[in-house]
Amino acid sequence: MDSPIIHWFRRDLRLTDNTALHAANETGAPIIPVFIFDPAIIESPQISLPRLGFLLKGLEALDQSLRERGSRLMIRRGDPRTILPELVQQFGAVAVYCNRDVTPFAQRRDAEVEAALGVPLHSYDDVFLLPPGSVMKAEHAPYTVFTPFKSKWLTIPKPEMTQTPLQFWRGEGESSTVPILADFGKTLSMPLPDAGETEAERRLQTFLSKPIEDYVEERNRLDAAPDDDTLHGSSFLSPYLRLGMLSPRQAYWGAWEKYKELTANPFPSWRGEPKTDTFVFLPDPRSAQESVKAWVSELIWRDFYGHILFHFPHVLKGSFRPAYDRVAWRNAPDDLAAWKAGMTGYPVVDAAMHQLAAMGWMPNRARMIVASFLTKDLLIHWREGERHFMNLLIDGDPAANNGGWQWSAGTGTDAQPYFRVFNPVSQGEKFDPDGAYVRRWIPELRDVPTKFIHTPHLMDKPPTGYPAPIVEHRMARERALTAFKAVG
Ligand SMILES: Cc1cc2nc3c(=O)[nH]c(=O)nc-3n(C[C@H](O)[C@H](O)[C@H](O)COP(=O)(O)OP(=O)(O)OC[C@H]3O[C@@H](n4cnc5c(N)ncnc54)[C@H](O)[C@@H]3O)c2cc1C
């Protein structure tokens, strides 16, 4: 038998269109599929239980896919710097294959693994549509503003999808099974969505079949529920993209096919020809085609924040624009606790925080509203919010989360300055006009008439069990502007 090679799964929990796995398959050697629970992650106080639970479900599905191909997932617990060299020795493996990640932690770990292995570590670009370093200004500097990044991004050819490998190691003698949360001494009461590549593909196809056509109109709908296939706002693919149960190419080329279907004369620049007019011609900004393009634009945001983290890793420690590290953030533990508990007295903020605690997810509009509230109305450091989101989100991603928080706080790459402050009442009135979202997530407000659903404190008899606003918005807005102006 040929000497095997190891594929080390990390945030690429799929067999379909997996760049490193495909490259491993091209060698013709049998592939040993390995996942390692690294104590540096699993035992870290920052570990997110919802994300760990979702990861375990994803591993279960991956193992099942492998079993259908006569193999199985090899699972180990320990430091990859020692586990991988041991596996190489034990199986006589000639190389290890994996897909690159952009966090400083992952880059450091991979360099140390490579030094310890004794055989080559082949790593591939897979996590983003275009890898960091490939979308640069003429003078080879990274872009720091989204719009020019996107214009350049559109001119660069996107990789095609790869074939799914067939030739796996048969799993002889392997008895490890995918653990459950209790094996780590942890419990979680939150129901988690189905995981794995089959479910991810099902969700993608459902979204592409129709909801994507209405994306521009529906994306900001707060009451759309990812657990209800009939109420679509956005795709709910973020958890699957986060852990690689779906590749970004599956999403992109799926959207491309949809676009072709909708358009007799699709813009050729989507295939990457050096042409930049893709987003210039706007027949009807609300057309189905424009909706598809708006959705692809979100995939470009995902690339953008990945590239920002790669080129500017300091964003994980402080503001993208260092001047804003001097903002006089408030140390207000009671206000922070009220925000986390969804007890601020602003219904749309509180509904979103309840949804986060119940589902480990919330729509983009809700994320922007609660982030603006924490950083502007409460003037609490965005890093508190970033940390809380990472603890609870099943799609919690260091690059996108950091980018979203710094965008909301006004300390990041955004060309828009800090004075964008969302009004939590008018945001509720605009994006949850009949109060369905608030009523779903805050039982105490279920019977409040629509007229007062975003201002229940103004009722003659406000509902019991729900607090009055913990801060007055107009005063808070001025306080935030003053604090930012002092350093900006
Ligand atoms: C404060 C804040 C924190 C956020 N934290 C995260 C996070 O931890 N993980 C995460 O994946 N997204 C994060 N986002 C971005 C965005 O809110 C989610 O990606 C989106 O809500 C996921 O829902 P969806 O899959 O239905 O998105 P869709 O609207 O269907 O978009 C498709 C995909 O594009 C990507 N995407 C969409 N919007 C963004 C964006 N603004 N930035 C980067 N990628 C985007 C996601 O992968 C998403 O699945 C954050 C945004 C804010 C404002």
Domain assignment of residue 184, yes or no? no
Distinct helix (H) and strand (E) counts, the chain: 19, 5
Q: Is 308 in the pocket of ligand 1 (CB under 6 A)?
A: no
417 and 455, same structural domain? yes
Q: How many Å is the Cα radius of gyration of the chain?
A: 23
Strands laid side by side in the 121-124 sheet: 74-77, 31-37, 5-9, 96-99, 121-124
82 and 10, same structural domain? yes
- Give, for ligand 1, the residue of 210, 238, 309 to mutate: max count of ligand atoms closer than 8 Å to Cβ: 238
Domain assignment of residue 169, yes or no? no
Q: Is 237 in the pocket of ligand 1 (CB under 6 A)?
A: yes
259 and 212, same structural domain? yes
Angle at 201 between CA 195 and CA 207, to 5 degrees: 110
Q: Is 400 in the pocket of ligand 1 (CB under 6 A)?
A: yes
Taking alpha carbons only, the member of 333, 57, 344 closest to residue 191 is: 57
- Give, for ligand 1, the residue of 361, 364, 397, 407 to mutate: max count of ligand atoms closer than 8 Å to Cβ: 364
Quote the strand ranges of 304-460, DSSP E.
none
Report the distance separating Cα 252 and Cα 158, nearest Å: 9
Residues 72 and 66 sit within 8 Å (Cβ to Cβ): yes
373 and 302, same structural domain? no
Q: What is the overall mean pLDDT for the chain?
A: 91
327 and 296, same structural domain? no
Q: 289-327, pLDDT tens digit by residue?
A: 889 999 999 999 999 999 999 999 999 999 999 889 999
Give the CATH number of the domain where residue 14 resides.
Answer: 3.40.50.620
291 and 143, same structural domain? yes
Of 311, 341, 363, which residue constitutes the final position of a domain? 311
Query: Mean pLDDT over residues 193-216, rounded?
Result: 95
What is the pTM assigned to this prediction? 0.95
Domain assignment of residue 54, yes or no? yes
Q: 9-39, pLDDT tens digit by residue?
A: 999 999 999 999 999 999 999 999 999 999 9
pLDDT at 275 over 60: no
Domain assignment of residue 173, yes or no? no
Domain assignment of residue 171, yes or no? no
413 and 296, same structural domain? no
Q: Write out the residue range of the structural domain in which residue 144 sits.
A: 128-160+197-311
Give the CATH number of the domain where residue 437 resides.
Answer: 1.10.579.10
State the total domains in the chain.
3
349 and 286, same structural domain? no
Is residue 213 annotated as a catalytic residue, yes or no?
A: no
Domain assignment of residue 373, yes or no? yes
399 and 412, same structural domain? yes
111 and 156, same structural domain? no
Q: 113-140, pLDDT tens digit by residue?
A: 999 999 999 999 999 999 999 999 999 9
Quote the strand ranges of 23-164, DSSP E.
31-37, 74-77, 96-99, 121-124
293 and 395, same structural domain? no
With left for phi above 0 and alpha for psi between -120 and 50, is residue 266 left, alpha or beta?
Answer: beta
Q: Which residues contact 254 (CB under 8 A, 6 or more apart)?
A: 204, 205, 208
Is residue 441 annotated as a catalytic residue, yes or no?
A: no
Domain assignment of residue 139, yes or no? yes
Ligand 1 atom at shortest distance from the alpha carbon of 215: 29
Domain assignment of residue 93, yes or no? yes
480 and 387, same structural domain? yes
Q: Is 342 in the pocket of ligand 1 (CB under 6 A)?
A: no
